[in-house]
Chain A
Amino acid sequence: GENVEQHPSTLSVQEGDSAVIKCTYSDSASNYFPWYKQELGKRPQLIIDIRSNVGEKKDQRIAVTLNKTAKHFSLHITETQPEDSAVYFCAASEYKLSFGAGTTVTVRA
């Protein structure tokens, strides 16, 4: 099955700086790569996703890049704000989603 590795496990950034989270996946058949944000005690919420026919996608301060050859994808958050503090999960799938272990992002004011 699919194995998704996510790094780093924790990330602390100064407000206004950028945050980058990286994931690798094992199954070359995976073709869909979403990112979820989970605030404490709440449900994971889809923030951005990318399909395998696209190399980069951007939505305001959030961008995701995908390198299918290397089987890795990354989440970039620019101009971080305190409300960006949360756990971020990457996932990969051909059919069912397999999640990474999560990155706890803390934005320092």
Chain B
Amino acid sequence: DIQMTQSPSSLSASVGDRVTITCRASQTIRNYLNWYQHKPGKAPKLLIYAASRLQSGVPSRFSGSGSGTDFTLTVTSLQPEDFATYYCQQGYSGPRTFGQGTKVEI
């Protein structure tokens, strides 16, 4: 199976900060990479699909990039509602797999 590794596991940031989260796949997944935001008690929310495509309704301060094995999620100006845990997920082959998550804290 394809393993997904995110870094960092957690980070502290302030409103207005630029935040970058990285995700690495154990083998190439081309650009079959999705990003989700998850808040406690809520359903996860799709932010980015196909590595860089913004899901409808998601603010443009979120962006994704990368291909092959290395990917990034960037939030250009962190807003109070962005404090959450973020997960990458590969959809390239076999069972879907998630990264372990990155918790963005104040």
A in complex with B: no
Chain A interface (Cβ within 8 Å of chain B)?
Answer: none
Chain B interface (Cβ within 8 Å of chain A)?
Answer: none
